[in-house]
Structure 1
Amino acid sequence: MRRYSKNWHKPAVSKDLAKYDNLEDDIDTNIQVLFQPRGAQIEALYALEDSRAEGAAKGLVQAATGVGKTYLAAFDSAKYSRVLFVAHREEILKQAAVSFKNVRHSDDYGFFYGKRKDTDKSVIFASVATLGRAEYLKQEYFPKDYFDYIVIDEFHHAVK
């Protein structure tokens, strides 16, 4: 471990961490941010920003279990007003909603699965099974360019 730590260098992005350190609030300066990007998430956020700066409109994030891909999506999507999060299980959708709420500090969330068909929320968590049905692929539910940011969790379950 000592030998590794001697050769380890901080990622280049660490110098710009100040923008993620604290939320500034003119009214109450004692606010602590509980959820902040960490480690590989920070590097991924900068890589995504760099890709966008180079003109990429889409991106793919692949990371090991435990890195915090859902939180990464919440951090990265924070500046977008209409977000769609798609997953194959209701449990994943509910957990993702908690993660997004922790990061975005908003209750403007909806679900699109089973009997729930929220369409007027800024962040919508939808199941692959429901969203993929022909009756819900019509423009009346979500026009073609309705969402600014789309996350497909566990993509290998999304298409069969």
Structure 2
Amino acid sequence: MNHWLMKTEPATFGIDDLARARNHTTAWDGVRNFQARNYMREMRLGDLAFFYHSSCDVPGIAGIVSITREAYPDHTAFDSEDPHFDEKSSPANPRWFMVDVKLVTKFDRVIALEELRRYGQDKLKNMVILKRGNRLSITPVSRAEWNFINSLL
């Protein structure tokens, strides 16, 4: 099993929105970065991901989701009315993909980015989210990082 971190802006779609979704499941669409897309194509059924809130008052990890459907073409890229439309993508030759995620647990508290940074020189020194200039919406998380972050709860 692989572990991931998936960033979203709670003003657009947060963990509470996922909790209200039918079966607590949704498609993770709209990714328009090639590296993040490639990470999604590596995701397998049952992989777990931290659900991370960004661009908000307290950025941080709000819960855990599981991958319930592996990468498939992101239909929003084909819809000229959708904000994620990409004229270079087509059903016959898709450039962008999405996965389905299901809420596993919403944490009682957000594990804030500042809390993660406190461990940045030690336990989480290689964690991608803590690297300067990282803006990827999907990043891998090592087993050691996964276990340590879960121990903070």
Alignment TM-score > 0.5, same fold: no
Greater Rg by CA: 1
TM-score, normalised via structure 1 length: 0.26
TM-score, normalised via structure 2 length: 0.27
Structure ranking higher on relative contact order (CA contacts 8 Å, 6+ apart): 2
The structure whose residues are more often helix, as a share, is 1
The structure whose residues are more often strand, as a share, is 2
